[in-house]
Structure 1
Amino acid sequence: MTTNVEGRVLVIERVFNAPRDQVFKAFSEPERLESWWGPKGWQTENRKFDFKPEGVWHYCMRCTDENQGEFFGQESWGKFVYQEIIAPEKIVYTDVFADQEGNAVDGMPEMLITVDFVEHEGKTTLITRSQFASIEALQQVMDMGVVQGMASQFDRLDDLLKELQ
């Protein structure tokens, strides 16, 4: 996985040894998404999943790993609002930290995320571009461990893709 910061944008790339349509389905099918989303030791539950432009994905991640100390038992709610979907090439959505009702949490940054799925010789390069309102908002999420969380999450996605082949 490679990461790069371009102003207010965090770019993360990772190559998966799977065809693009399989990687896209991992983002677009609720059961698949639920099975890998979130860092290792966390379980995701879909509250709402409507994969279409203006559709909403509202979810909760819960730490189920007792070895994660103070994180064990914690919940983290999030909400996507899909802006653009071009299967199996691209997904654009806003991402906010949310509460159980799907309301944005005050003081937490909102991100505009573009995910590109680029296939080459049977492998897929996943490119995520997370745009923040300010460099400070980007730094806030970096300080929360977003890069480490994404690395762990992408390891889980890689495991799922291997199972499906």
Structure 2
Amino acid sequence: MIAENEIYSSRILEAPVRRVYQAFAQPQHLRNWWGPEGFTNTIHEFDLRPEGKWVLTMHGPEKGNYENESVFTDVQPEKLVVWKRLSQPLFNMEVHFKKIDEENTEIAFRMIFKSVSECEKIKSFAVTKNEENFDRLEKELSFVII
């Protein structure tokens, strides 16, 4: 069940769970698909372990650089990655990796906000942008070697 202060998006991908997880765990792949269509990323720090930091700049397609800083709180390879955003907008993010079978994986994003009103500010565009994120991930998966 999805709470009113959460945004949930998921997609089933035609790729083994290990490949999908590595597309996230390897910054050289993550930078190519993270964010909405048209965005590029500069990853300054990516320490994928509890208490490790993830610092990146998302570059908008038309203008603007968006600084992002987070700290990982839970890392379960090929299952779950959780982080707490330290930059605005503030929320906790869960990325779930679920093996459907040997060649299919469900990836799910759960964005958890402190309040319903904070969630509503982001929800109007986040669902569509998360779908763009998944589209970009699908394209990047063919470049991930496992």
Q: Distance in 1 between matches of 2:144 and 2:76?
A: 23
Amino acid at match of 2:120: Q
1:63 Cα deviation after fit: 2.1
Aligned to 1:124, which of 98, 105, 114?
105
Q: Distance in 1 between matches of 2:40 and 2:95?
A: 22
1:140 Cα deviation after fit: 1.0
Amino acid at match of 2:142: K
1:5 Cα deviation after fit: 4.7
**Structure 1 residue 160 and structure 2 residue 140: aligned?**
yes
1:150 Cα deviation after fit: 1.0
Q: Which has the higher contact order (CA 8 A, sep 6+)?
A: 2
> SS where residue 6 of structure 1 aligns?
coil
* Number of the residue aligned with 1:134: 115
Deviation readout 1:6-36 (Å, 9 max, x if unpaired): 2212111111110001111111111111111
* Number of the residue aligned with 1:94: 84
1:62 Cα deviation after fit: 0.9
1:163 Cα deviation after fit: 4.0
* Number of the residue aligned with 1:50: 47
**Structure 1 residue 85 and structure 2 residue 75: aligned?**
yes
Q: How many residues align?
A: 144
- Taking structure 2 as the reference length, the TM-score comes to 0.90
Amino acid at match of 1:137: E
**Percent identity over paired residues:** 24
Regions of 4+ moved over 3 Å: 162-165
> SS where residue 21 of structure 1 aligns?
helix
Q: Distance in 2 between matches of 1:131 and 1:77?
A: 20
For structure 1, the residue ranges without an aligned partner over 5 or more in a row are 65-71, 97-103
* Number of the residue aligned with 2:21: 24
Deviation readout 1:112-138 (Å, 9 max, x if unpaired): 122111111220001222111000010
- Taking structure 1 as the reference length, the TM-score comes to 0.81
Q: Distance in 2 between matches of 1:61 and 1:109?
A: 14
For structure 2, the residue ranges without an aligned partner over 5 or more in a row are none
The structure-2 alpha-carbon separation of the partners of 1:17 and 1:51, relative to structure 1 and needing over 3 Å to count, comes to: same
Aligned to 2:58, which of 61, 79, 89?
61
Amino acid at match of 2:131: A
Aligned 8 A contact 1:42 1:62 in 2: yes
